Amino acid sequence: DAGVIQSPRHEVTEMGQEVTLRCKPISGHDYLFWYRQTMMRGLELLIYFNNNVPIDDSGMPEDRFSAKMPNASFSTLKIQPSEPRDSAVYFCASSLVGRGRSPLHFGNGTRLTVT
Amino acid sequence: DAKTTQPPSMDCAEGRAANLPCNHSTISGNEYVYWYRQIHSQGPQYIIHGLKNNETNEMASLIITEDRKSSTLILPHATLRDTAVYYCIVISNTGNQFYFGTGTSLTVIP
């Protein structure tokens, strides 16, 4: 099992540019989560999907952020336009079942720097 | 979901057992206790979880008090590679939001 795969590992972009982060969950997992981590705010849940459907996006900071899951093996998190305060490490995680019955498995993250 | 309280930092001598405490005094009957750790620049790594009973796996042991208001993660023989931030999380079987607090920064000393 390759685990959760995220790409790219590092992204440096200029303010105003569009950024797309990608995630491939573990095969067979029904839940997918996007987190953001900063020194100031720690790990924050942005959005999660169940069977490709967004369930809770209350953590998405603003309309500049959007997430999609077109199929069970792929999800994207898009920021348009990007701003320096979006600089953070973005993690994707998946779990087999929900409701606390199985753990989240995290990818190694995408470190985003917006200049 | 119940709030958890952990000490901000701890030290442990290499080869000794590391005992990391977590208070979750408002936990309810259907809430699981999860432990994760995060080594610098990596994604959080699942360690262990439990509901009521003590649990053990190849990485660690989880001891949950009888009233379930606190738990202890035990790393039986700490190594330098166990230096990380350890997060204790409580999540109900009706929720899916794993909330990570500030955790305990464990330093294993040679």
8 A C-beta contact, residue B3 and residue B89 = no
Q: Chain A contacts of B40, Cβ < 8 Å?
A: none
Share of chain A above pLDDT 90, in %: 89
Residue A114 pLDDT exceeds 70: yes
8 A C-beta contact, residue A6 and residue A112 = no
Q: What are the backbone angles phi and psi of residue B76, rounded to the nearest 5°? A: -65, -35
Q: Show the tokens assigned to A90.
A: 């973005």
Q: Which residues of chain B have pLDDT under 70?
A: 1-2
Amino acid at A36: R
Q: Show the tokens assigned to B52.
A: 């009521």
In the prediction, which pLDDT does B16 show?
97
The verdict on a CB contact (< 8 Å) between A56 and B43 is no
Burial of A53 (0-12, 13-18, 19+ CB in 10 A): exposed
A58: CB partners within 8 A, 6+ apart: none
B42 has a chain A CB within 8 A of its CB: yes
In the prediction, which pLDDT does B18 show?
98
Residue A97 pLDDT exceeds 80: yes
Nearest to A33 by CA among A19, A41, A43, A20: A43
In the prediction, which pLDDT does B2 show?
61
In the prediction, which pLDDT does A32 show?
95
Tally C-beta pairs within 8 A across A and B.
Answer: 58
In the prediction, which pLDDT does B85 show?
97
Strand order in the sheet with A19-24: A5-7, A19-24, A74-79, A65-71
Q: How confident is the model at residue A68 (pLDDT cuts 50, 70, 90)?
A: very high
In the prediction, which pLDDT does A1 show?
64
8 A C-beta contact, residue B89 and residue B34 = yes
Q: Chain B contacts of A31, Cβ < 8 Å?
A: 96
Share of chain A above pLDDT 70, in %: 99
Q: Give the three-state DSSP class for A100.
A: coil
